[in-house]
Structure 1
Amino acid sequence: MASVTGEDSKKLKLYSYWRSSCSCRVRIALKLKGLDYEYIAINLLKGEQKSPEFLKLNPIGYVPVLVDGDIVVADSFAILLYLEEKYPEHSLLPKDLQKRALNYQAANLVSSSIQPLQNLPVLGYIQEKLGADEKVVWAQTHIRKGFAALEKLLENYAGKYATGNEVLLADLFLAPQIDGGVRRFNVDMKEFPLLSRIYKAYKELPAFEDAMPERQPDAPPEASA
């Protein structure tokens, strides 16, 4: 991977958790843009995101967090827009305003209407109140609802990828969300032919595959089995 040169030569730092789909979005962007970075693992299951040191970086205690010199950016959407502005190589946003708006819509659908409903705190609460079986049903229900909406949103715009034949912002949100839906929650993708097709296309891209959970340094051995 190419390192950043000149005044930006300080290596970027990414606070990440191997299974975090939010972190995965950023990992894909960093790889697409050819940016070298230091991976700093935050074990969510051990509560490391609640440590005083981490809360100084992100007071709400979520990953990912990007540190670029003196600049600290938390939240995957904010990080991706920051990277797009500072490191425009391999742009994630099209110049066409309609297509750009479509990318924002698809990305936001994942980040606000699917992923938050399947994250660890929510699933932990559902399990505590209703039981482990209901936790999976809850996640599957909201993933399917979001996937159905994405199928309709993208049906007239998708090409090889979500919004055409270029990898753009929406793809960075869709790839880890579909991967998690399939691997973690056993969502049957036969209901979603468009998403299934572009998911196969993502698997041909090294930047996407290298960013997947099982390839991260903090992933347990069984993750790649």
Structure 2
Amino acid sequence: MSKLILHGYWRSSAAYRVRIALNLKGLAYDQVGHDLRRGEQKNPAYRAIAPAGLVPAVEYEGQTFIQSLAILEWLEERWPSPALLPGAIEQRAIVRAMAGTIAADIHPLNNLRILKYLKNEFERPQQQIDGWVAHWIDEGFAALEVMIARHGNGFAFGDFPTMADCFVVPQVYNAERVGIDLAPYPQLTAAAATARAHPAFAAAHPDRQPDADPA
């Protein structure tokens, strides 16, 4: 099998999702880091691979795949075992909705480039930007709390790690980094704790990546 190459950044939650999925499927991969703080993802050489200049991107057999949700769907179809989605059609829709709540409703509004735009173009003070971040995380987490209470059984959905956990764990990591109060979300935090104890999630943690800042 050709080697998978993951382009990312150690603290990117979107790249974190892909690392988890690759680890869960037992796939070997090399990593290429692009420091988002320095704007390395905008370099022409990387844009030739990923035209939007965003991470993550995965190279495999001469093709490049972008957008973490699409990458996870591709991994699931390309290497279906172990599965990241449950067997029933309805259950798969619920797991995708959990992932989508983060991928569509939380993360885009709190992405680094959005926060920089708020600061530089609209001259918003940091206090207002922090409030913006907290608002959208809380909105999404409130919905996830209900979904996990209904469908979780140790993990976010059911009793084995799914695509939902690949999204939940990195978003909880982000929330902790910015000091969000997670007390209102006991089901979500319990599911994240269960997933974090899994070796595939532990190995994907940002601090354990080759491009991570020194401790």
1:163 to 153, 157, 180: 157
Q: Please say if residues 13 and 174 of structure 2, whose CA atoms lie closer than 8 Å, have aligned partners that are also in contact.
A: yes
- Secondary structure, in 3 states, of the residue corresponding to 2:48? helix
Give the structure 2 partner of residue 203 of structure 1.
196
1:70 matched to 2:49: no
1:218 matched to 2:211: yes
| Structure 1 stretches of 4+ moved >3 Å | none
1:173 to 163, 167, 172: 167
Using the TM superposition, give the Cα deviation of residue 154 of structure 1 relative to its aligned residue in structure 2, in angstroms. Answer: 2.6
Give the structure 1 partner of residue 106 of structure 2.
114
Alpha-carbon distance between aligned partners in 2 of 1:110 and 1:32, rounded to the nearest angstrom: 20
Give the structure 2 partner of residue 20 of structure 1.
12
1:145 matched to 2:144: no
Alpha-carbon distance between aligned partners in 1 of 2:160 and 2:192, rounded to the nearest angstrom: 14
Q: Please say if residues 127 and 134 of structure 1, whose CA atoms lie closer than 8 Å, have aligned partners that are also in contact.
A: no
Using the TM superposition, give the Cα deviation of residue 156 of structure 1 relative to its aligned residue in structure 2, in angstroms. Answer: 1.3
- Secondary structure, in 3 states, of the residue corresponding to 1:114? helix
The amino acid that maps onto 2:127 is D
Alpha-carbon distance between aligned partners in 2 of 1:23 and 1:203, rounded to the nearest angstrom: 16
Give the structure 2 partner of residue 192 of structure 1.
185
The amino acid that maps onto 2:77 is E
Q: Which runs of 5+ in 2 are unaligned?
A: none
The amino acid that maps onto 1:137 is G
User: Residues 32-43 of structure 1 correspond to what in structure 2 (within 5 A)?
Assistant: 32-43=24-35
The amino acid that maps onto 1:146 is G
Using the TM superposition, give the Cα deviation of residue 126 of structure 1 relative to its aligned residue in structure 2, in angstroms. Answer: 2.2
Q: In angstroms, what is the RMSD of aligned CA positions?
A: 1.0
The amino acid that maps onto 1:188 is D
Give the structure 1 partner of residue 78 of structure 2.
86
* TM-score, with length taken from structure 1: 0.92
- Secondary structure, in 3 states, of the residue corresponding to 2:183? helix
Alpha-carbon distance between aligned partners in 1 of 2:45 and 2:81, rounded to the nearest angstrom: 32
* TM-score, with length taken from structure 2: 0.96
Using the TM superposition, give the Cα deviation of residue 108 of structure 1 relative to its aligned residue in structure 2, in angstroms. Answer: 0.5
Residue identity (%): 38
Name whichever of 99-108 and 51-60 sits farther off.
51-60
Higher relative contact order (CA 8 A, sep 6+): 2
Q: Please say if residues 126 and 134 of structure 1, whose CA atoms lie closer than 8 Å, have aligned partners that are also in contact.
A: no
Using the TM superposition, give the Cα deviation of residue 153 of structure 1 relative to its aligned residue in structure 2, in angstroms. Answer: 2.4
Using the TM superposition, give the Cα deviation of residue 178 of structure 1 relative to its aligned residue in structure 2, in angstroms. Answer: 0.8
